[in-house]
Amino acid sequence: MTPLPAALSDWFAAKGWTLHPHQQDMLARSDDPATLLIAPTGGGKTLAGFLPTLAELGESPPPGLHTLYVSPLKALTADIRRNLRTPIEGAGLQIRVEDRTGDTSYTQRRRQRADPPHILLTTPESLALLLSYEDAPRIFAGLQRVIIDEIHALAESKRGDQLTLQIARLQSLNPNLRRIGLSATVENPPALARFLSPSTTILQADPGPDPDISMLETEAPPPWSGGGGRYAIPAILNEVTRHKTTLIFHNTRAQCEIFFHDLWLQNIEDLPIGIHHGSLSREQRERVEKAMTDGALRAIVCTGSLDLGIDWGDVDLVIQVGAPKNVKRLVQRIGRANHRYNAPSKALLVPANRFEVVECQAALDAVRAHTLDGEPRGPGPKDVLCQHILATACAGPFDADQLYAEVTTAGPYALLTKQEFEACLDFVATGGYALKAYDRWQRLKQTNGKWHLRDPRAAALIRQNLGTIIDTDLLKVRLRNQGAPLGEVEEDFAASLTPGDTFLIGGQVVRYESLREMTVEVSRSPGRDPKVAVFSGTKFSTSTLLTDRILQIFQQESWPDLPAHTAWWLAKQREVSRLPDPRSLLLESFPHDGREHLCVYGFAGRNAQQTLGLLVTKQMEYQGLAPLGFVATDYATLIWGLDPVTDPAPLFDLATLRDGLETWLSGNAVMKRTFRNTAIISGLIERTHQGRRKTGRQATFSSDILYDTLRRYDPDHLLLRITREEALRGLIDFSRIEQRLARVGPNIDLIRLDRVTPLAAPLFFEPGRVPVEGAGRDRLAAAQAQALMEAAGLA
Amino acid sequence: MHKLFFHGETLHLLPSGGLYWPARNTLAVSDLHLGKSERLARRGGTLLPPYETQATLEKLDRDLEATGATTVICLGDSFDDLAAADGIEEASRLWLIRLMAGRNWTWITGNHDPGPIEIGGSHRADLKLTPFTFRHIAEPQERAEISGHYHPKASLAGRSRPCFLADAQRLILPAYGTYTGGLRAHDATLTALMARDALAILTGPRVLAIPMPR
């Protein structure tokens, strides 16, 4: 271990700072090849990660890159740069710290390649780009350390898988490279340690006192359905006035917008409150971040974009609006309040509707019982590997055996077989098609045993497509006749607008005017209610831990812990029908609005409930019940069609469902969406970049066509295999259906009712309805076409 | 199949996107874009599955067999570029030659394939077959015209499909090729071209006519 430079120790002493025990431990273990530090927010985790670097660099280090810091958020790199500069400049150390992200200027990036700083702060995407340059070996020549911040968040996504491959690359360039992972509390530290490196030391900091957490009591009960928590605004404002700084978390950007707008209308005291989420323009976000750092805001309405460790001073209350879906994320969010180590964090949960009251109660119980949820992630995805091979080829010729050996040192790819690797290489090189048609199908060629790009000019295009984040196509929103961008909306949302529609963005109501050159032009529309709901957002599945706890709560005789309105609602459901329980599968069948409905209370999480919807409607199609569509939530699937279900057992027979899975997997929308993501990540199709989008829309065609073509002519193609693997563990989540059905066995209970039940009613307001393509829709389409022609006087 | 009465003739609009004219035993198809994946691969872009030529020819083969057409008109953009026509894979070339054998086959030039193709048949900028004029891109003042180029598509019951567009003076065919996208029928280009009372006839398992969306 190298001690801290005297100037730095003196500076710490002058400030009256002493190192926490886990910070001391990090210094003591600085020679270990890999260290995972698990510490609560506010524990000086990031500084702990940098201490060995500061010790090794000393007071005036020679030039060259020493430490690479990788974080999942651009904002975090800027924040860390500021925080690091304080001790470095304070102690007069000659250490250069710079960040490099998608927002860094071109000149700055060029300079960084020629003359890298001692400490470079970046994101996995920017690192992928750096490693794809031919001069990567020179840039990273003296690299000693890599620090991965918020590694628990990265490990949950393909960005993390990609990062482990990049670190394997860096380790090949610098065999003595040491790794540090910094993590919030997780349910399975050894798994995260393996993700970081095969030989990782785990350091656990003192977790600190239990949080002070409860459900917010409101005068008005929450509404029956919907999200957003608008009803709770008076109570929330009251809490904001009683605290210094409050973070108000929402699960989606849309809810964040609506809530902020409504909050503003009721903010009579003119409390300074800001909004922050990923769809706002950079300028807007930076303005809010600055105001927050300056202590000028009393509250920020935000999404997961503020989940991760940006240190914004005096937050003393966290409010979570909407069910948290996941206990681990909730605990991490709660940690955002009170950045003082060893002081309890204070948090309030605000259920957005009646169902969420129960879920919030279940989450409170889980937090108090210290149980965390988490599903194991499985082996590293191969589309990410394909991209990595392509990016490696951009940097220069490579030897396949060496690359394979390197890739298998990355945690998620430790069990990758040579055969699997070669299939990926073949895909990258030739497309990997069963039909070996032309010599033109060559992206990579082998010369003197080494693989390289057939056309080096292709590198530029490949670099543009690096990264594993797949955005839905976003369009910029601008005020007409003014330059300032307000933010972005999804293309599908923009397509649904007609001139005159009003919607919310950045907390203001705007009027849609026109779509010009891929920009949505709007004008201000003061004081009017938005007519159209906001763009859709990410949806998480409620964890198994939480759904199990909800089913347990349902079994209580009475519900003294729940607010009276919710207890009454559950009692009402018990009276007219039944409450779902863990040992059986409850189905309700009833007519409504001219359609037959079937409500399946599977409690398997949104993704699995969606899959169940797809599988069951397929069976219904076979039985001639003409299903038309369904909608899934974390708790239930509501199916509607032309004819009622009377014999449910065959629909839910596990063996039949499993058999049907194969054929069914082929044509459904979820698979096609998964395929599209996989095709983009693996480099088969390009991302649509704003500004360079092809003008004639007929020039591009849907990735669905490629999917259908491959299914028909090359069913064993690598990308179809990847799509299937991905879908089964991600969006399809079939294992959760299997677990649930195995647990209920033959206890599938159908209750026929003459009307909608209390528990089913909220499902009618759920967005994200999935149409079923089949006989029912054909019947309907024919009837609709007939009606249109008749209306036009043509039939 | 949808029957369209157009300038005194009965035309069959097929679920595949092809047009069959029984009186002349003629099949017209547009925008096959054969060799699209080959062109992209050749240009150093992505390596799309090399099956679209096969898929498109299978479809054409089925339509020819079902209709027994003896005259075939390809309304342009039959090949994704001229080199794609020359570079067509041997199996596909033989297949195409077999389809052409014994049939009166016309290749109309399109913007993607603006020249003659060394594969037989006759090559023309347009074709007059009373009462119709066949060409690639519709001309605003033309009457009784059958064309392609725009790849129109329209939505019904939440599903978007390639479609024919028809008014009193012109009929626009959907793209027949496998790797083809579409232009929404309510796009200004198409609404400017078609009369107010135009119909959109959607392809798919069931051919359905609706007033053209605007």
pLDDT tens-place string over residues B83-128: 888 888 889 999 999 999 999 999 999 999 887 778 889 999 999 9
From the list A457, A686, A785, the residue facing B44 with the nearest CB is: A457
Task: Name the least confident of A47-56, A527-536, A629-638, B108-117.
Answer: A527-536
What is the rounded CA–CA span in Å between residue B214 and residue B212? 6
B41/A441 touch (CB, cutoff 8 Å), yes or no: yes
Q: Which of A219-223, A490-494, B47-51 has the highest mean pLDDT?
A: B47-51
* Six-digit token string for A368: 């108090």
The whole domain housing B96 covers 2-211
Q: Is residue A476 predicted with pLDDT exceeding 90? A: no
pLDDT at residue number A388: 97
> Chain B: nearest CA to A704, how far in angstroms?
10
CA trace torsion A165, A170, A173, A177 (10° rounding): -130
Please tell me if residue B89 touches chain A, with a CB cutoff of 8 Å: yes
Nearest residue on chain A to B90, alpha-carbon basis: A437
Query: Tens of pLDDT along A564-592?
Result: 989 999 999 999 999 999 999 999 999 99
Query: Tens of pLDDT along A642-692?
Result: 999 999 999 998 888 887 777 666 666 667 778 888 999 999 988 764 434
pLDDT at residue number A437: 60
A290 or A238, greater pLDDT: A238
User: Among A481, A483, A536, A484, which residue's Cα sits nearest to residue A514?
Assistant: A481
Question: In which band, very low, low, confident or very high, does the pLDDT at A562 lie, cut at 50, 70 and 90?
Answer: very high
Task: Name the least confident of A251-265, A517-531, A682-696, B171-185.
Answer: A682-696
Task: Write the CATH number for B85.
Answer: 3.60.21
pLDDT at residue number A50: 96
pLDDT at residue number A695: 38
Burial class of residue A326, CB neighbours in 10 A (0-12, 13-18, 19+) = buried
From the list B49, B156, B199, the residue facing A706 with the nearest CB is: B49
Nearest residue on chain A to B55, alpha-carbon basis: A709
Residues of B in contact with A713 (CB under 8 A): 49, 51, 54-55
From the list B45, B52, B183, the residue facing A697 with the nearest CB is: B183
Nearest residue on chain A to B189, alpha-carbon basis: A696
Nearest-5° Cα angle at A124, A122 to A130: 70
From the list A435, A454, A782, the residue facing B50 with the nearest CB is: A435
* Six-digit token string for B26: 């003629």
Any idea how long chain B is? 214
Question: In which band, very low, low, confident or very high, does the pLDDT at B166 lie, cut at 50, 70 and 90?
Answer: very high
CATH code given to domain A212-368: 3.40.50.300
B211/A792 touch (CB, cutoff 8 Å), yes or no: yes
Residues of A in contact with B183 (CB under 8 A): 696-698
Mutate one of B48, B62, B151, B189 to test the A interface: name it (highest A CB count within 10 A).
B48
> Residue A222: how many CA atoms within 13 Å on its side-chain side?
29
Tell me A38's DSSP state: E
Averaged over A366-378, what is the pLDDT?
82
Averaged over A368-380, what is the pLDDT?
82
pTM: 0.80
* Six-digit token string for A632: 């899934």
Question: In which band, very low, low, confident or very high, does the pLDDT at A698 lie, cut at 50, 70 and 90?
Answer: very low
Query: Tens of pLDDT along A258-299?
Result: 889 889 889 888 899 998 887 777 788 888 888 887 888 999
Residues of A in contact with B48 (CB under 8 A): 431, 684, 706
Cis ω before A767 (30° cut-off from 0): no
Sequence-distant (≥ 6) Cβ neighbours of residue A775 within 8 angstroms: A621, A624, A626
Q: Is residue A419 predicted with pLDDT exceeding 90? A: yes
pLDDT at residue number A690: 42
> Chain A: nearest CA to B175, how far in angstroms?
9
pLDDT at residue number A785: 82
Averaged over A127-136, what is the pLDDT?
95
Helices (H) and strands (E) in chain A, counts: 29, 26
Q: Which of A237-241, A255-259, A269-273, A784-788 has the highest mean pLDDT?
A: A237-241
pLDDT at residue number A470: 72
A438/B50 touch (CB, cutoff 8 Å), yes or no: yes
> Chain B: nearest CA to A39, how far in angstroms?
45
Please tell me if residue B158 touches chain A, with a CB cutoff of 8 Å: yes
Residues of A in contact with B208 (CB under 8 A): 781-782, 785
Indicate the number of domains in chain B: 1
Mutate one of A697, A698, A723, A780 to test the B interface: name it (highest B CB count within 10 A).
A698
Averaged over A689-718, what is the pLDDT?
72
Sequence-distant (≥ 6) Cβ neighbours of residue A452 within 8 angstroms: A393, A396, A397, A398, A444, A445, A446
Q: Is residue A162 predicted with pLDDT exceeding 90? A: yes
Question: Pairing between strand B104-108 and B122-124?
Answer: parallel
Query: Tens of pLDDT along A109-121?
Result: 999 999 999 999 9
From the list A683, A701, A709, the residue facing B51 with the nearest CB is: A709
Q: Is residue A161 predicted with pLDDT exceeding 80? A: yes
Average pLDDT value over all residues in chain A? 86
* Six-digit token string for A672: 């096609």
Question: In which band, very low, low, confident or very high, does the pLDDT at A753 lie, cut at 50, 70 and 90?
Answer: very high
* Six-digit token string for A432: 């990997």
What is the rounded CA–CA span in Å between residue A412 and residue A663? 30
Question: In which band, very low, low, confident or very high, does the pLDDT at A131 lie, cut at 50, 70 and 90?
Answer: very high
Structure-token match 């003008």, residue found: A695
pLDDT over 90 for what percent of chain B? Answer: 76
A781/B38 touch (CB, cutoff 8 Å), yes or no: no
pLDDT at residue number A767: 66
Q: Which of 1.10.3720.10, 3.40.50.10860, 3.40.710.10, 3.40.50.300 is the CATH number of A6-204?
A: 3.40.50.300
From the list B157, B184, B205, the residue facing A784 with the nearest CB is: B157
A441/B199 touch (CB, cutoff 8 Å), yes or no: no
* Six-digit token string for A521: 């032009």
Nearest residue on chain B to A792, alpha-carbon basis: B211
State the maximum Cα–Cα separation within chain B, in Å, rounded to a whole number.
49
Residues of A in contact with B87 (CB under 8 A): 438, 440
User: Which pairs with CB-CB distance under 8 Å and at least 24 residues apart come from A781-790?
Assistant: A781/B156, A781/B157, A781/B159, A781/B206, A781/B208, A782/B206, A782/B208, A784/B156, A784/B157, A785/B156, A785/B208, A785/B209, A785/B210, A788/B210, A788/B211, A789/B209, A789/B210, A789/B211
B38/A697 touch (CB, cutoff 8 Å), yes or no: no
pLDDT at residue number A528: 60
List the domain boundaries for chain A: 6-204, 212-368, 382-464, 474-524, 577-780
Residues of B in contact with A684 (CB under 8 A): 46-48
Question: In which band, very low, low, confident or very high, does the pLDDT at A531 lie, cut at 50, 70 and 90?
Answer: low
pLDDT at residue number A575: 95
Please tell me if residue B6 touches chain A, with a CB cutoff of 8 Å: no
What is the rounded CA–CA span in Å between residue A514 and residue A494? 10
Averaged over A38-48, what is the pLDDT?
83
Question: In which band, very low, low, confident or very high, does the pLDDT at A14 lie, cut at 50, 70 and 90?
Answer: very high
Averaged over A463-482, what is the pLDDT?
78
